[in-house]
Structure 1
Amino acid sequence: MNSVIGDILPLALGIAVSPIPIIAAILMLLSPMARGTSVGFLIGWVLGIVVAVVLFTLLSGIIPEQDPDASNPVSGVIKLLLGAGLLFLAARQWRTRPKPGEEAALPKWMAAIDTMTAGRGFVLGFLLSAVNPKNLLMAIGAGVTIGTGGLSAGESTVAIVVFTLIAACSVAVPVIAYLVASARMAAPLESLRGWLMHNNATVMAVLLLVIGVVVIGKGIGSF
């Protein structure tokens, strides 16, 4: 189980440091309906991660079981494809980074965050974690790794919980911190939002490049 958890940690971190959901959470925390919207967003974010990882863990069960010490070409091909997809997204992110002096372009839906309800926050959190292509690729990679790792049901559950806790922490920490000490969190959140907005594309490009290379390496090692 330790080797499986070690393999999924980079993927979990990839989801955790994705700037767009963090920016969305911060904007919600700075909005008039901060508490309800941010809590709904956090619940949707966590649920989306769990659903995606569990789904692909179960789907990976159709891959024929093999000797753990033997090659696993099916899993290897899937990881190679996932790694290639992450490298493609890394290149696209790099090309969209703002030039010096330019303002970073952010999704238009962020302008509506101030008027979002808790229900809409929940839906947005779920979509960003379970449907967003970058996060979905990493969830697929984690699900395949867990599902083909020869783990028992209990061990697979532990691996999914560890993955979810790490992947969700970047949204959970500011939301929980705000709920505990809202008055003191406003200035640090605004500063973090500004930095993430400016460096969003660069952070994601470097992150996707590193994780893509790691996933391709794991895929090659499966042959």
Structure 2
Amino acid sequence: MNGVIGGILPLALGIAISPIPIIAAILMLLSPKAKGTSVGFLLGWVLGIVVAVVVFTLLGSIIPASDPDASKPIAGTIQIVLGVLLLLLALKQWRSRPKGDAEPPMPKWMAAIDQLTAVKGAGLGFLLSAVNPKNLLMAVAAGVAIGTGGLNGGEATLAIVIFTVIAACSVAVPVIAYLIASAKMAGPLESLRHWLVHNNATVMAVLLLVIGVVLIGKGIGQF
């Protein structure tokens, strides 16, 4: 159990630190429909994480069980492949860094955030957590780790809950803080948004590099 939790923590942190959903949440909090849209986005974000991890946990549990001390070549191969894909994404992010003080291009859908409803915000949150390639790769890796970890139903559920709480906290914290003290949060949120926009590519490149190397190392250790 402890080994599985230790293995999924970096993956959960990888999803939590992903700047794009945090920027999206902040833009919603600074929009005219702040409360409804941001709460919808948070619910969709959490649901997407849960669905992705549960699905791949169930798929991971199908992998034939073996002696805990024996090699696990199937799980190891999956982890190595996921690690390599994360390294490729890290390289892509690094090359997309803005030069100097240039304003980095942001996704076109961000321009329409002011017009989003709570339902559309929930849909966007779900897509960013469950379908976004970077987050999906980390959810796959977490699901495989949980599904092949030899855990019983209660332990697997606890691992999924821990993963979800950590992965969702970066979106949950600003949304909850805004709901509690909206007047005081506008300035700090705008400053955080500006920093994330300019450092998005660098943050993601370093993050994906570290997690990719960790996954490859874990995968090699399964043989």
Q: Separation in 1 of the partners of 2:109 and 2:216?
A: 33
How many residues align structurally? 223
RMSD: 0.4
Q: Separation in 2 of the partners of 1:125 and 1:44?
A: 4
Residue identity opposite 2:74 in structure 1: V
Q: What is the percentage of aligned positions where both structures have the same residue? A: 77
Q: Separation in 2 of the partners of 1:193 and 1:139?
A: 25
Matched, 1:215 2:215: yes
Structure 1 residue runs without a partner (length 5+): none
Q: Tell me the CA shift for residue 62 of structure 1.
A: 1.6
Residue identity opposite 2:113 in structure 1: I
**Which residue does 1:144 correspond to in 2?**
144
Q: Tell me the CA shift for residue 185 of structure 1.
A: 0.4
Q: Separation in 1 of the partners of 2:101 and 2:175?
A: 31
TM-score (norm 1): 1.00
Structure 2 residue runs without a partner (length 5+): none
1:203 counterpart SS class: helix
Single out whichever of 59-68 and 42-51 deviates more from structure 2. 59-68
Q: Tell me the CA shift for residue 104 of structure 1.
A: 1.0
Q: Separation in 2 of the partners of 1:72 and 1:58?
A: 17
Matched, 1:175 2:145: no
Q: Tell me the CA shift for residue 64 of structure 1.
A: 0.5
Q: Tell me the CA shift for residue 101 of structure 1.
A: 2.1
Matched, 1:90 2:90: yes
Q: Separation in 2 of the partners of 1:5 and 1:121?
A: 31
Single out whichever of 95-104 and 207-216 deviates more from structure 2. 95-104
Query: What are the Cα deviations for residues 197-222 of structure 1, in whole angstroms up to 9, with x where unaligned?
Result: 00000000000000000000000000
**Which residue does 1:199 correspond to in 2?**
199
**Which residue does 2:129 correspond to in 1?**
129
**Which residue does 1:188 correspond to in 2?**
188
TM-score (norm 2): 1.00
Single out whichever of 57-66 and 35-44 deviates more from structure 2. 57-66
Q: Separation in 1 of the partners of 2:106 and 2:66?
A: 45
**Which residue does 1:65 correspond to in 2?**
65
Q: Tell me the CA shift for residue 151 of structure 1.
A: 0.2
Q: Separation in 1 of the partners of 2:183 and 2:101?
A: 32
**Which residue does 2:3 correspond to in 1?**
3
1:37 counterpart SS class: helix
